[in-house]
Amino acid sequence: MANTPAEYIQHHLQNLVFGSHPVNGWSFAQNHEQVKEMGFWAIHVDTLGWSVFMGLIFLFLFSRVAKHANAGVPSGLQNLVEMVIEFVEGVVKDTFHGRNPVVAPLALTIFVWVFLMNSLKWIPVDYIPGLAHLMGVPYFKIVPTADPNGTFGLSLGVFILILFYSVKVKGLGGFTKELAFTPFNHWSLVPFNLFLEILGLLTKPLSLALRLFGNMYAGEVVFILIALLPFFVQPVLNVPWAIFHILVIPLQAFIFMVLTVVYLSAAHEDHH
Amino acid sequence: MNINLTLFGQTISFAIFVWFTMKFVWPPITAAMQARQKKIAEGLDAAGRAQRDLQLAQEKAAQTLRETKEQAAEILDKASKTANAIVEESKQQARSEGERLLVAAKAEIEVEVNRAKDQLRAQVAALAVAGAEKILESSVDAKAHNDLVAKLASQL
């Protein structure tokens, strides 16, 4: 493990990377230099592993309820699941006015998955990396949403859907026309419009991903900083910060979901 | 803070999760919820109807009860009137019967008395005759006379 505070922080913020190293071939990176040398052709095993694990928990719980869903008196888990679904359905109905069978399940997936990934932050920062260290794994960072790859992966999916539905609803011509002739409906301003609109379009996934990443990363850093303090000070700061995250974690999941629905709603709106 | 292949891994798993949710999670649960909603609405509806029915039935029952009470009172009234009339009539009959019996008895007694009187009269006459005959035919004997007179007297 690390010795100086800087090394400790760096260690906790480094993912476990498996990639193609120019010298070692496909292998786990043992230090920062190797990570840098691997470049793009690498995978954050911890981010992917934990996010898929959380996604599977979500699917397991919800599909179990779905399998036994009936109109009788709901009990326990079914109540919880139905509450979440009702909540998501309400948000989607209020925000999204088109007819699209993908949007509501998409929103549900985002909300629950992001919530579960965020909630990994409640696990004390040293537990999992410490355990991994004992087993000889050099790095282990468990919160997938504190990794830009995780959040951009999500927003990239959303961005593809925005483009897909924009083209599907408005047609390729209609979509291009919308990009070229709004906000200023004059031929001389087409380049300016294009610049503005494409920038706006690209901002959507960027803001989605960076908002979630920024919040989770900053929270993580604060947890790590608190962990550096003497042990008798830690609970005083750690507990309020963790309690504060009862608000932050669902809120960020909710924001990601709502913005996704809003963006998709805008993609379905035809102004011409 | 380095972007790498994880990005696409995450996007792919995201797509798979969304697909799975869309296919196997969302439709059955929302369908069940809608079915339950409908069931509850129907149940509430039925409950409302039942309550209305109950109210109607109660009103009807109350009215029937009221009518029945009135009828019962009427019947009682009529019955007591009839009973009074019967009693009155019986009394009247008894009285007239009594009077009739009395009159008949009196008449009979009178007839009996008359008959007795007639018999007595006849017997007295016969006795007087017999006495006289005996007095005239037999020897006068004070003692015998006395007996005869006493006999006569006891036969009167």
pLDDT tens-digit series, residues B29-86: 999 999 999 999 999 999 999 999 999 999 999 999 999 999 999 999 999 999 999 9
Residues of chain A with pLDDT under 70: 1-2, 271-272
Q: Which domain holds residue A229?
A: 5-268
**pLDDT for res A13:** 86
Side-chain-side CA neighbours of B18 within 13 Å: the count stands at 20
Chain A nearest CA to B41, separation (Å): 12
**pLDDT for res B143:** 65
Enumerate chain B positions whose Cβ falls within 8 A of a Cβ in A: 1-11, 13-15, 17-18, 20-22, 24-33, 35-36, 38-39
Is pLDDT of B87 > 80? Answer: yes
> How many folded domains does chain A comprise?
1
**pLDDT for res A27:** 85
- pLDDT of B46-58, one tens digit each? 999 999 999 999 9
**pLDDT for res A1:** 47
Q: Cα–Cα distance between A149 and A155 in angstroms, integer?
A: 10
Q: Report CB contact under 8 Å: A47, B6.
A: yes
Is pLDDT of B155 > 70? Answer: no
Nearest to A63 among B1, B25, B30 (CB): B25
CB proximity list for A196: less than 8 A, separation 6 or greater:
A183
Q: What is the ipTM of this complex?
A: 0.88
Q: Cα–Cα distance between A17 and A170 in angstroms, integer?
A: 42
Q: Cα–Cα distance between A37 and A27 in angstroms, integer?
A: 12
Cα-Cα-Cα-Cα dihedral sign, residues A121, A123, A126, A127: negative
